[in-house]
Structure 1
Amino acid sequence: MQPQETFTIRELSELFEISRQALSKHIDKLDPSMIAKNDRGYKIILRSGVLQFARNLDNQRLLDRLHESEHTKDENIYILRKIEVADELLLQLREENQFLRDQLVLKEQNTSHLQKLLDQQQQLTLQANQQIKKLQEQLHLTFAEDSINNGSKEVTKSEVSEEREDTDTKKPVFNPSAADPIKKKWWQFWKQ
């Protein structure tokens, strides 16, 4: 880090612990090439002028303070840079944290939506199974009623299931001579 090149009277007054009036008297004795004015119109003293001022007073303590203040400023600048880097890293971490929180919220919403869809699917499957069961019961009742109306014996569910098993194991044999001219219902084709 480069040392400070210019100082205002106020800065030098604080640095050397001398009143501004006394400092102004000493500065007026300096070479005019070591004094300038800043953009606000205040007198500023170049570094070479400050060193000349300290030598004129034959005060090593003032030179030591000047070097010490520069060293302290360097350390402060180093610390400030570290703080800036830490702040930038903290900001990045906060942004990443916010991004991950947003992703987590989105994932939770998706999971919730998928859970609702799964529940709906299960409800629809249950309803479909119930409807299938009702239709099977109606089919058995219709079959039983038709059997009674045709004058055959009364058929129970167990007999219907036995009959179904029998028809599943036996293959129908077509006998053209035994064909009846009466139209049979579809479930009567397997009876002989």
Structure 2
Amino acid sequence: MKSMTVTELSEAFGVTRQAMNNRVKKLSEEFLDKNDKGVTVVTETGIQVLEMHYEKTVLTKEVVPEADNRPELDFDKILSQLMSDKNAEIARLSEQIVIKDHQISEKDKQLDQQQQLTAKALTEREQTLIELEEEKSKGFFARLFNK
């Protein structure tokens, strides 16, 4: 029976160790075991549950090659699948980069607007203070008759 540690699983599924650790903690106890070193491992059935969650196959069933079944073809298949998975991941990350670039652009616009409003408010405040000083410097009757 095949079992894997959190580190091995994180590498196999292409996620961080922390993300895999959080996912493994959510698994039922029936899918967990301890290896000879006392480290928690996920059993083969637990790995199959993770495969369904991540929609990725990491366990390969042992196939006894027939006489005309060449192992290098299996290697090519696996390599092709890995390349396909990596290309899909690259496409997903590229999409995320475009989204993040758009979000940064929007935040830049918001920051620029905020800076403009702050500058306008400061200018208006300074103008109001100047007007107050001018009013204070006028005499009583000048203020009374607004001259």
Structure-1-length-normalised TM-score: 0.38
- Computing the radius of gyration over CA atoms, which structure comes out larger, 1 or 2? 1
Higher relative contact order (CA 8 A, sep 6+): 2
Structure-2-length-normalised TM-score: 0.48
